[in-house]
Amino acid sequence: MTPLHSLEDWLSWQETISPKSIDLDLSRVSKIFQKLNFVRPNYVITIAGTNGKGSSVAMIEAMMISMGKSVASYTSPHIHKYNERIKINRKAVSDELIIAAFKKIEKIRGGLELTYFEYGTLAALQIISDACVEVVVLEVGLGGRLDAVNIVDADACIITNISRDHEDWLGAGIENIALEKAGVMRRGKPVIFGSLVIPKNIKNEAFRKKAKLITNPDNYKFNINDNKSWSWFGATNQRMNLSLPNMKGSHQLKNAAAVLALIEAIPEITLPDEVIINKAITTIELSGRIDFRNYAEKKWLFDVAHNIESAHALVKTIKQSQYNKCITVICVLADKDIEGIIKLLVPIVDHWVIVNLNTARASEVRNLQNFISKYSQKEISVGGDASQSMQIADISSQENDLILVTGSFYTVGPSLKWIEKRIDECN
């Protein structure tokens, strides 16, 4: 094994040893996990679902900290730096901590193969164990039942919603996907389902496992009071005149309502009052999720929407915005519903800029061009990498135009880096 010094060295090496195809099986990662001597925190919360997982994690983090509790989180993927995946009290951990965890895993791994995600999950759990926090929040990477985070039993979980995504791995259709995501449920523990439309397999698995299924509107609900406030009604509590979440998009109220339902459902934790809730939800920032930036007298909107439901939410937000023309910088991964996403964006886009991403998972430029041309007569530019594409969008736009950057984390991450650098140069 070549000596590994930096975090980048370790991550690059992990990619070389990772199995070429995803093998959804917990046996390998479970064997290594048992050797880590994981110290379980007081509460483990698992977040599954198709969309809204990252936002829900961020809300729970903020809420717990506002309540005076220490909290760790593990999420994926990241926007800028790998360190963002592992946070202690909302702060990304250091390179040194991650490397130390990697070294421990490598020492006990033996001949067992691990995927890139499994390696990272074990490292995160080791770091979280050492941090001795009260609460840990784990975001499912893919599915639920056979996802690496599911080696830790949850005291409570949220399944945000179910829509069609990752069907190659989770099975075709909503019910098959729901069955996989229901795998995070545990006997006797609360599970909050955050969407109004509940697949049969969510109900069936909750019944089979004797989990406490909590749904909207049967067990909790929320009302929008006006443009500045909302109210929440739970099983035994209500909270009135709450501030709107700092994160943009009407769907964030649904996420916030599910988070409050989760906290109410944990017997040992008292649902905080309005002051604490407002303090939490008005301070949350999450890069790349309905993320507006201002530069050169233009609006720039970054969103990692990569499936039909998230694209719906994105378009809904854009239609509520004021702008002249919309220039869209886009690349979508090859295994996504590219055609469906393009069709949703067509009514709002005046100029397309296609990013040629340097990853094997990205859709070919020609493929994107064909889908766009099928449904749109608007101009199409091919921009090379994210930086070059952003320059094209900047040059092609004028004051009061909207530049939308979307399609994947791989598109949004480097594009955000580009805009942040230019904003810094102006300050």
Q: What is the pLDDT of residues 68-116, one digit of tens each?
A: 999 999 999 999 999 999 999 999 999 999 999 999 999 999 888 899 9
Question: Which contiguous run of DSSP H or E holds residue 248?
Answer: none
Task: Evaluate the omega torsion of the peptide bond into residue 77 and state whether it is cis, within 30 degrees of 0.
Answer: yes
Query: Do β-strands 238-243 and 229-233 pair in parallel, antiparallel, or remain unpaired?
Result: antiparallel
Q: pLDDT tens digits for 178-221?
A: 999 999 999 999 999 999 999 999 999 999 999 999 999 999 99
Rg (CA), the chain: 21
224: tokens are: 């929008």
In tens, the pLDDT along 342-362 reads 999 999 999 999 999 888 788
What average pLDDT does this structure show over 247-266?
94
Q: What is the pLDDT of residue 359?
A: 81
Q: Do residues 406 and 390 touch, judged by C-beta distance below 8 A?
A: no
Query: What's residue 3's pLDDT?
Result: 77
Is 342:372 a contact under the CB 8 Å cutoff?
Answer: yes
- Domains in the chain, ordered, with CATH? 7-281 (3.40.1190.10), 291-426 (3.90.190.20)
Task: Report the length, in residues, of the chain.
Answer: 427
Mean model confidence pLDDT for the chain: 93
Does residue 339 sit in helix, strand or coil? Answer: helix
* 154 contacts: CB under 8 Å, gap ≥ 6: 44, 45, 46, 138, 184, 186, 189
> What residues contact 366, with CB distance under 8 A and at least 6 apart?
none
Cα–Cα distance measured from residue 425 to residue 427, given in angstroms and rounded to the nearest whole number: 6
Structure confidence at residue 295 (pLDDT)? 94
- Note the pLDDT tens digit of each residue in 370-387: 999 999 999 999 989 999
